[in-house]
Amino acid sequence: MTRTFRAALPAACLAAAVLTLVPPMAAAAETRPYPVVDTGQVRFYDADREIACPKPGDAFFGQDAHYAANPPRYKDNGDGTVSDLVTGLVWQKDPGEKKAFQQAVAGAAACRLGGHTDWRLPTIKELYSLIRFSGTDPDPRSTAGGRQTPFIDADAFVFRYGDPAADERIIDSQYATCTRYVSTTMRGNPTMFGVNFADGRIKGYPVGPVRGRGEKTYCVLYVRGNPAYGKNDFHANGDGTVTDRATGLVWMQVDSGHLKAGPARDGRLTWPEALAWAESLTFAGRHDWRLPSAKELQSIVDYTRSPDTTRSAAIDPVFEVTRITNEGGASDYPCYWTGTTHAGLRGASSAVYVAFGRALGWMSDRRAGRYALFDVHGAGAQRSDPKTGDASRFPRGRGPQGDVIRIRNFVRCVRGGGVTVRTDGPPVQDMPGEREPGGRGTANPFMRREDRNGDGKVSREEFGGPPHHFDRFDRNGDGYLTEDEAPTGPPPPPRR
């Protein structure tokens, strides 16, 4: 006997040659109510940089760029709106001025763009349909967007990076949705999930004033059409697999933890190991499993669930999820790898994951003089991890919110969806700012020497000089030395 599960949405709310894998699914894809749009990633990467297209059996075969389905297609309607020809959604073209969250919610009913009166603030799944992983993750300390590529089609939509002249970071291009986190982030902040099209992430953002910083404002793209988009229709097949009849994707009901994958037999794998494991997997009598793309994996997040509210992962109960103990010693749930590389100006050494448990981060408490671990972005966030390496080199995470770094994440494989396999790719090009082997994407000798974990900043633990020198260089007092704070004089004394 089989059961049907339907996940509800929050109420608040190619020049490449191809080989068709599943022809019958391809024909059906056009009629699906929830077609998962391709990420647009057509370049191939190893653990650090762009490479030529790997062939079947090669290392790094099976990544996002190998599998294509539902390529993005847009039509500019000439009235300030853009039609998505894949999803059936119609979008506002220009977000205009930023809005506080409540203004964004209220503004939908008043919107008359294109003569329509049925505009709504999108859900996180609707908005994420627009993300493109042909973008490049910028340095958040940068003050110019000229070398960057955004994670949205800037030909179809008006896109602006954050304005440093307005006291913004270049990455302050976060877009609001109506999807509220069912728990809270940081120190109890009410939160909504938003997409940052400047740096290619889903994070939880505050929906009201934050002490000492006022109320954050967001870019807003209202949407209309296809009310079924983002609604899953899960069907347990009785063989350890689950079909989402809304998307046409077939999922493993269990994850790599249940199958004892990886060198430690605990389900945790690096990104190259995850690719190889997925490509070699035989499960439920099938051999065509793959590592899902970022958009495929995000499509099965259930944003009505979280560890703190439903005592579960952010996924429908039809799926089985390995429990883990997180960095704070609490019971939690894994992050799952995708086949999507998160490329940046310093190379391609990170890949995308989706957090089905808490999206943790280490935040500095200056008054207490210590770091504290918080759910900084919420269960259902999409971030990235180094593809390989030693997680112990990131004792306080990385990024503005100290995102916890694990490197070894879990896997839930997928098949179907009408994918085709690319057998070739565009010519390999050097990525802007790509680092040399063993080096760093910077000309500053201090940063190249001291930044041992390659996160673009030097922590107190990494600093090789006297502690009082670190305090003198750390002009903003955030506990890190960035390139603009780095000394240019004689090097510090050697480590003893």
Strands 191-196 and 360-365: unpaired
User: In this structure, is residue 352 part of a structural domain?
Assistant: no
Q: Which domain covers residue 196, as residue numbers? A: 74-185+192-224
Contact, 320 vs 328, CB < 8 A? no
CA–CA dist 193, 191 (Å, integer): 7
Report d(CA 79, CA 183) in Å as an integer: 39
Domain count, the chain: 2
Query: Which residue, of 224, 243, 276, is where some domain finishes?
Result: 224
The H or E element that residue 447 is part of is helix 445-450
- Bridge partners (DSSP) of residue 403 are 361, 398
Beta bridge partners of 170: none
Is the residue at 117 inside a domain?
A: yes
> Quick check: 458 and 474 in contact, CB under 8 A?
no
- Pairwise CA distance, residues 383 & 335, whole Å: 9
| Residue 57 forms part of a structural domain | no
Structure tokens at 474: 């750390």
Asked if residue 128 is part of any domain, the answer here is yes
49 in a structural domain? no
Q: Cβ distance 389 to 10 under 8 Å?
A: no
Distance (Å) of CA 170 to CA 83, 138, 311:
28, 8, 37
CATH value at residue 474: 1.10.238
Q: What is the pTM of this model?
A: 0.83
Is residue 484 included in any domain, yes or no? yes
DSSP code of 266?
Answer: S
Query: Is residue 379 in some structural domain?
Result: no
DSSP 462: T
H-state helical runs in 192-344? 271-280, 294-298
104: part of which helix (H) or strand (E)?
A: helix 101-110
CA 81, 82, 85, 89: dihedral to nearest 10 degrees?
-60
Residue type, 352: V
Query: CA 456, CA 462: separation in Å to the nearest integer?
Result: 12
Q: Are 224 and 90 in contact (CB under 8 A)?
A: yes
**What length does the chain have?**
496
Instruction: Report the C-alpha gap between 94 and 72 in whole angstroms.
Output: 18
| Position 201, amino acid | R
Of 134, 154, 29, give the one whose Cα is nearest residue 85. Answer: 29
The per-residue pLDDT for range 160-173, each reduced to its tens digit, is: 999 998 889 999 99
DSSP secondary structure letters along 111-169 = --GGG-S--BPPPHHHHHTT--TTS-BPPTT----TT---SS-TTTS------GGGT--
Kindly give the confidence (pLDDT) of every residue in the chain, 496 residues in length, as a single tens digit, with 9 standing for 90 and above. Answer: 333 434 444 444 433 333 333 333 333 345 899 999 999 999 999 999 999 999 999 999 999 999 999 999 999 999 999 999 999 999 999 999 999 999 999 999 999 999 999 999 999 999 999 999 999 998 877 766 567 899 999 999 999 999 998 889 999 999 999 999 999 999 899 999 999 999 999 999 999 887 767 899 999 999 999 999 999 999 999 999 999 999 999 999 999 999 999 999 999 999 999 999 999 999 999 999 999 999 999 999 999 999 999 999 999 999 999 999 999 999 999 999 999 999 998 789 999 999 999 999 999 877 777 889 999 999 999 999 999 999 999 999 998 899 999 999 999 999 999 999 999 999 998 655 444 333 344 546 677 567 655 667 787 767 766 676 777 777 666 777 876 677 754 444 433 3
Q: What is d(CA 262, CA 275) in angstroms, rounded to the nearest whole number?
A: 11
